[in-house]
Chain A
Amino acid sequence: MITVERLTKRYGPVVAVDDVSFTATQGHVTGFLGPNGAGKSTTMRMMCGLTPATSGTARILGVPFAALANPGRRVGVLLDASAQHAGRTGREVLTLAALLTGVDRRRIDAVLDLVGLTDKEAARRVGTYSLGMRQRLGIASALLGDPEVLVLDEPANGLDPAGIRWMRDLLQDFAARGGTVLLSSHLLHEIEQVADRLVVIGRGRVVAQGAKDDLLRRAGTFARSDDDAALAAALRGAGIAVVPLATGGLDAEAEPAVVARTASAAGVVVTELRAAGSRGLEDLFFELTADDAREEVSA
């Protein structure tokens, strides 16, 4: 369980994180979504006690991160997979963490196996790793202490599609066993595959949050019919906002069942009908963050 309340970070006149509140609950994978520079990493650093908050609080498992005794055993953290000593081997990185947190060293082999790093790869220096391998090592470090909560900043960055699927299975399994997962991404399709709840952030502010399916539903329905104009008129008549699409078909701000019923009543034959789905969430994402998106800002 992660509870963030009115968290704010100012750097001089710049407000990097502005009054952010959300919770990530047990048993769920919560996605923290926003464009680069939206304040995701700053928020996560504040949650982990690395960046002092200007105001507001962040609690993990009911207490501020710094108040956890041996936090490596309670919270698995991956804030930057590249932030590892280039001269250490992957295994040595895990060994240091195991020694510090008091984890049985046999667990190192277990997590290496879990993230798919071979003994040979683990014996190589981290400086020679690809970004995908560093992410796997970072996730291995996060899981090493057998934590209840995972906080992962851009963990899918650098993973190939198979790697993203693997991570989805891993994190959903973790959540299904009663764990809490918060992971960030600036890429919608990544987070859509992995998370079941979303917190969307733009220029330091939370612009939407909730269950992924609810947010998707809010994004409307795509419909194609034998007479789009008639369908549009019928929907508008029912007080539903409609956007005809240049490529044919239309987007309606209603659930598929409502659109189907309206079409049926108007005698229009629907040829294609579905929740706007990923495209809808993408529109939502761009819509929500359009004013706030920045082009060249580091995360």
Chain B
Amino acid sequence: MTATTSSLTTTPTTAPPTAQVRPVSFATLTLVEWRKQLDTRAGRWLLITIGIVTAAVLVITGAVGDGNVPFGGFLLGSATPMAMLLPIVGILAATSEWSQRTALVTFTLEPRRTRVGLAKLVSAAASGAAFFAAALAVAALAHLWVVSFRGAEPSWDVPLDVALGALLLVVLGMAQGVGFGLVLLNTPAAIVSYLFIPTLFSIVGSLIAAVRDTMPWIDLGTASEPILMGTASGQDWAQLATASLIWVVAPLVGGLVRLARSEIKSA
């Protein structure tokens, strides 16, 4: 658009400016979806809450006992509440289109709905990665604090495969959040389901002897443990893959199908 055109009031166009109109690129769509996760009060408060909980966990970890906590210990402390709460950002990215009724606008500006769903997935994963970087930074600060003021032994060792594994789990969690959000298209239902169904599944599964051996294959929590311990074998990775298939990939695929097929109304 030229400056002259954009300064006009209501300039429809006898000669359509088709040539000048660029299609919406996936990168643009993803950036806009990312901004949408952060530009509302609900989104900001969620992030502030995660920050406060993380800080509290770190302070307690460092202040209680002799303070001799390695960097890896703090990282676990900062990443755990994050991994638990961050997927809610992904859930909201999907469900707020319905709870806040913005879906009408979103899907008239980009009618290719699967693309919008994927942009939400990518931007949520990016949020997860950014938060993981922040978790590394605050864990490092916390470790510096106990080393400087509480006489702890400096211990910066975190195996690379554990760090990458933790990053992977955060990203999987974000994808799970988007998946639950897209399947249910309802904020409270999606948050409650995300928080309770997998947990309930773990508890019930561990009580039934017959399925106890299968649990690592089908329970994401159980499958995640060896990854965070740094003891993951080939079989452990295979178990993470099958559990992710059930808890992440299946809701995502179901959610994208529902998104593509559903009727979008304002109420």
List the interface of chain A (C-beta within 8 A of B): 45, 48-52, 61, 65-66, 68-75, 77, 79-80, 82-88, 92, 96-97, 99-104, 106-107, 110, 114, 125, 141, 143, 146-149, 170, 173-174, 177-180, 298
Partner of B12, one of A83, A96, A99, A179: A179
Q: List 11 A-B contacts (CB under 8 A).
A: A51-B265, A68-B111, A82-B101, A85-B100, A92-B39, A96-B36, A104-B1, A106-B6, A143-B10, A149-B12, A170-B10
Partner of A88, one of B3, B12, B21, B39: B39
Known contacts A50-B104, A106-B6; A80 and B266 CB within 8 A of each other: yes
Minimal Cβ-Cβ distance residue in A for B102: A85
Q: Return B20 CB to nearest CB of chain A, in Å.
A: 8
Contacts of B6 in A (CB 8 A): 103-104, 106-107, 110, 146
Known contacts A79-B266, A87-B40, A100-B29; A49 and B111 CB within 8 A of each other: yes
B21 engages A73 (CB within 8 Å) = yes
Q: Return B233 CB to nearest CB of chain A, in Å.
A: 45
B9 engages A114 (CB within 8 Å) = yes
A99 engages B35 (CB within 8 Å) = yes
Which 9 residue pairs of A and B lie closest in terms of their CB atoms, listed nearest first? Answer: A179-B12, A83-B101, A80-B266, A69-B23, A87-B40, A66-B111, A178-B14, A50-B264, A85-B100
A83 to B105, CA, bound (A): 8
A79 engages B108 (CB within 8 Å) = yes
Q: Is B13 among interface residues, defined by CB-CB distance under 8 A?
A: yes
Contacts of B40 in A (CB 8 A): 85, 87-88
Q: How large is the interface on B (under 10, 10 to 19, 20 to 34, 35 or more residues)?
A: 35 or more
A148 to B96, CA, bound (A): 30
A128 to B103, CA, bound (A): 20
Q: Return B257 CB to nearest CB of chain A, in Å.
A: 14
Minimal Cβ-Cβ distance residue in A for B96: A85
List the interface of chain B (C-beta within 8 A of A): 1, 3, 5-7, 9-14, 16-18, 21-24, 28-29, 31-32, 35-36, 39-42, 96, 100-105, 107-112, 261, 263-267
Most buried by B among A61, A85, A104, A178: A85
Q: Return A297 CB to nearest CB of chain B, in Å.
A: 13
B10 engages A45 (CB within 8 Å) = no
Known contacts A85-B96, A146-B5; A45 and B265 CB within 8 A of each other: yes
A174 engages B7 (CB within 8 Å) = no
Most buried by A among B21, B35, B41: B21
Q: Return A78 CB to nearest CB of chain B, in Å.
A: 9
Contacts of B265 in A (CB 8 A): 45, 50-51
Contacts of A84 in B (CB 8 A): 100-102, 105
Contacts of A177 in B (CB 8 A): 10-14
A107 to B6, CA, bound (A): 6
Contacts of A148 in B (CB 8 A): 12-13, 16
Q: Return A219 CB to nearest CB of chain B, in Å.
A: 31
A257 to B264, CA, bound (A): 51
Contacts of A143 in B (CB 8 A): 10
Minimal Cβ-Cβ distance residue in A for B29: A100
Minimal Cβ-Cβ distance residue in B for A181: B12
Contacts of A101 in B (CB 8 A): 24, 109
A176 to B53, CA, bound (A): 59
Contacts of B266 in A (CB 8 A): 79-80, 82-83
Q: Return A12 CB to nearest CB of chain B, in Å.
A: 13
Contacts of B5 in A (CB 8 A): 146
B1 engages A103 (CB within 8 Å) = yes
Minimal Cβ-Cβ distance residue in B for A9: B263
Partner of A51, one of B35, B96, B263: B263
Q: Return A42 CB to nearest CB of chain B, in Å.
A: 9
A204 to B17, CA, bound (A): 35
A170 to B264, CA, bound (A): 29
